[in-house]
Amino acid sequence: MAKSINLETSHSPNPAVDPNPASTLMKESEWLLQTVVENLNDGVVITDLQDQVLYVNSRLAKLVGCSVGEMVGKPAHHFFHAIEGWFDFQGTSQEDQPFYGWKEGQLRRKDGRKFWAEVNATLLCDATGEATGTLITVKDITERKWLEEYLRLLESVVVNANEIVMISQTEDAIEDPLSLRIIYVNDAFSRTTGYSSGEAIGKTALVLLGEKTSIAEIARIRSTLSAFEPVRAEVILYRKNGSHFWVDVNMVPIRNEQGHVTHFVSVMREVTERKIVEEQLRRNAFHDSLTGLPNRLLFMERLSQTVARANDEPAYRFALLFLDLDRFKVINDSLGHMIGDQLLIAIARRLEACLSKNDTVARLGGDEFTILLENIQSDNDATKVAERVQQALATPFNLNGHEVFTSASIGITLSSTDFDRPEDLLRGADIAMYRAKAQGKACHEVFDTDMHTHVVALMQLENDLRRAVERQDFELYYQPIVALATGRIMGFEALVRWQHPEQGIISPAKFVPIAEETGLIIPLGQWVLREACRQLKRWQDEFSPEPPLTISVNLSSRQFSQPSLINQIRQILTDTG
């Protein structure tokens, strides 16, 4: 029967009373050995050649879930239950020899629970070299195996992720976080950039930058990472073949247990398609869909920026041109809207050709265009551009076989005008444009304050005219129509005058154009016709002239456009008798 090794009965010797120094030294060595073995983190078991347990430390007993007393003297394989026949401590190899060496596997405890173990079996021999048993150490590596599996899963996630993952390693001193050496890239990195893992590792992130990469955004990323702070950005990067793509990148510093930054991890998601859609939406929001020119929104934004610059730089000059095509409605109505649209597109191209790259031409809507001339040297530069535009438009357009002639009335507002709001500048150019249109086709006018005063006065006059029509603040004057042969009065021409409460009598030449433009001529004309007929009836009743008197009333072209004009006249004649 095997004899157990009893390390537990050894005690530290007292050299002062022990007459045998050699024995004392041996006992002391045994005591030291016991202390070391009992305090190992690994389990230790010693067996004889028949697999009987001669010694087991408390750590090993705890690992398998038994007491030391239960194990000593028993076959070792009773206490080590390999899973799925992975190994037996005293199993045989191909040479039919006991197993010695190192293995990893799962074992079962006495209660059936599994744990991962690293087992090392060493043959024990006596002084003559004769084999006497086996020394087996068992290390519990369950936590390490869990960590390895966790890391394997993480690596699988990273390797197979759709997002680009790049890891850079820090150096002793970080001058530029983007110049750090790349130590890892995943498959998505290679698929997206065209750089294989071998090509990328050892290089820096700078290899991905190019001319379209935002310098300002890269500077922000550098600054943030240099402070060891995470940063998120959207930037343009470049593939190996030179093409570029957009990424949403999230870069974070990784710290060790001492709190020192050792790595930077970059997770990038390609967002090229989203950026294309965003750019298209942005362009649609700020550009005219027909001509491709900037629209009112973008033009006013640029005008605001220009005004702000002029306020900061007193010497900075600019000019605003407002263009309205002459007789565009006639072209649209006669040749159709398709030809009209083609004409607008062709005009847009000619206007662009008249300007420098720093200037802006926009379509506000309909047949209205605006031009912003920046950093002009003198006010004459604006009128020269207006003349150049007129010359460009003077050449006829050939549209689907139709030769189309057009011109534009142009109003100009200069930065020297005492306006500091973009909308005021645009309004001034609009006022000047209408003044130019009144001068005839293909004219241009420069806005001045007198124009604004005149427009304000006309607006006030229009408001007063509306109230006058409601209150019928008008008088009719009758100019006799005389027969030259007899000197006899044959009738009268009714002439309307406006009795303004503040300005007195206002001539028709001043208020009739406003009435025609606003449509007030319709109710005003009806009032004149009714009053003239009523007065003629009174004269007929009072004087009974023979032949009867006649009355002449001036009608506006706007009145003739009314389908009910004949019925209105008939009704007035009936009502007045």
User: From the CA atom positions of the chain, what is the Rg in Å?
Assistant: 51
Residue 392, pLDDT > 50, answer yes
> In this model, does residue 128 exceed pLDDT 50?
yes
Looking at residue 89, its pLDDT comes to: 45
Alpha-carbon distance 370 to 382, whole Å? 13
pLDDT band at 387 (very low <50, low <70, confident <90, very high): very high
Mean pLDDT of the chain: 86
What topology is assigned to 456-576 in CATH? TIM Barrel (3.20.20)
Query: Is it the case that residue 519 has pLDDT exceeding 60?
Result: yes
Average pLDDT of span 46-68: 88
Three-class HEC string of 496-553: EEEEECCCEEECHHHHHHHHHHHCCHHHHHHHHHHHHHHHHHHHHHHHCCCCCCEEEE
Same fold, 161-275 and 456-576: no
Which class would CATH give 21-139? alpha beta
- Give the pLDDT score at 267: 94
pLDDT score at 172: 59
Contacts of 438 (CB under 8 A, 6+ apart): none
Tell whether the model's pLDDT for residue 5 goes beyond 80: no
Local confidence band at 485 (pLDDT 50, 70, 90 cut-offs) = confident
**Per-residue pLDDT at 83:** 44
- Report the pLDDT averaged over residues 92-106: 62
Q: What residue has token string 């702070």? A: 229
In whole angstroms, give the CA distance from residue 577 to residue 567.
Answer: 15
Half-sphere CA count of 313, side-chain side, radius 13 A? 11
Residue 319 half-sphere exposure toward CB, CA atoms < 13 A? 23
Say what percent of the chain tops pLDDT 70: 91
Supply the DSSP symbol for 85: G
Q: pTM higher than 0.85 for the full model?
A: no
pLDDT of amino acid 2: 45
Q: What is the pLDDT of residue 16?
A: 52
**Residue 138 near residue 63 (C-beta atoms within 8 A):** yes
Is the pLDDT at 7 greater than 70? The verdict is: no
Res. 90: pLDDT tops 60? no
Question: DSSP for 253-308?
Answer: EEE-TTS-EEEEEEEEEE-HHHHHHHHHHHHHHHB-TTT--B-HHHHHHHHHHHHH
pLDDT at 382 over 60: yes
The whole-number pLDDT of residue 207 equals 93
CA 220 to chain centre: 17
- Average pLDDT of the segment spanning 497-507: 87
- Domain covering 287-447, topology: Alpha-Beta Plaits (3.30.70)
Q: Reduced to 3 states, what is the DSSP secondary structure of residue 343? A: helix
- pLDDT tier, 85 (very low <50, low <70, confident <90, very high otherwise): very low
Distances (CA, A) of 101 to 45, 138, 417, 543: 15, 12, 97, 146
- Predicted local distance difference test score (pLDDT) of residue 91: 43
| Six token digits for residue 395 | 């050449």
- How crowded is the C-beta side of 76, counted as CA atoms within 13 Å? 28
The rounded distance, in Å, linking the Cα atoms of 256 and 273 is: 37
Query: Are 323 and 330 spatial neighbours (Cβ–Cβ below 8 Å)?
Result: no
Distance CA 574, CA 440 (A): 44
Does the pLDDT value for residue 300 go beyond 60? yes
| Alpha-carbon gap, residue 441 to 474, rounded angstroms | 35
CA dist., res. 458 & res. 500, Å (int): 14
Do 283 and 276 meet the contact criterion of CB atoms below 8 Å apart?
no
Lowest-confidence pick of 80-89, 97-106, 219-228, 355-364: 80-89
Q: Is the pLDDT of residue 11 over 70?
A: no
Residue percentage of the chain with pLDDT more than 90: 45
How many beta carbons lie within 10 A of that of residue 258, not counting itself? Answer: 6
Which whole number is the average pLDDT over 447-452? Answer: 76
The token pair at 145 is 């195996």
Asked if the model's pLDDT at residue 35 lies above 90, the reply is no
CB-CB contact of 465 with 514 (8 Å): yes
From CA 306, how far away is CA 300, in angstroms rounded? 10
- Other Cβ atoms less than 10 A from the Cβ of 412: the count is 25
Residue ranges per structural domain of the chain:
21-139, 161-275, 287-447, 456-576
User: How does pLDDT run across 176-202, given as a tens digit for each residue?
Assistant: 888 889 999 999 999 999 999 999 999
The predicted pLDDT at position 87 comes to: 45
How far, in Å, CA of 167 to CA of 189, rounded? 11
Pairing assessment for the beta strands 550-553 and 489-500 based on DSSP bridges: parallel
Q: What is the pLDDT of residues 23-34, one digit of tens each?
A: 777 677 777 777
pLDDT of residue 562: 84
Per-residue confidence band for 81, with pLDDT thresholds at 50, 70 and 90: low
Q: How confident is the model at residue 441 (pLDDT cuts 50, 70, 90)?
A: confident
Q: Kindly provide the residue ranges of all beta strands, DSSP E only, lying in 3-141, ordered along the sequence.
A: 43-48, 53-56, 81-82, 101-108, 114-125, 131-140
84: helix, strand or coil = helix
The angle at the Cα of 132, spanning 128 to 137, to the nearest 5 degrees, equals 125
Largest CA distance in the chain: 179
- Structural fold of domain 161-275: Beta-Lactamase (3.30.450)
Residue 235 pLDDT exceeds 60: yes
Report the distance separating Cα 436 and Cα 374, nearest Å: 23
Please say if the pLDDT value at position 101 is more than 60: yes
Q: Closest Cα partner for 478 from 502, 461, 497, 464?
A: 497
Asked if residue 432 lies in contact with residue 446, where contact means CB atoms within 8 angstroms, the answer is: yes
User: Cα(first)–Cα(last) distance of the chain, in Å?
Assistant: 152
| Residue 313: predicted pLDDT | 92
Helix, strand, or coil (residue 402)? strand
Q: How far, in Å, CA of 509 to CA of 505, rounded?
A: 12
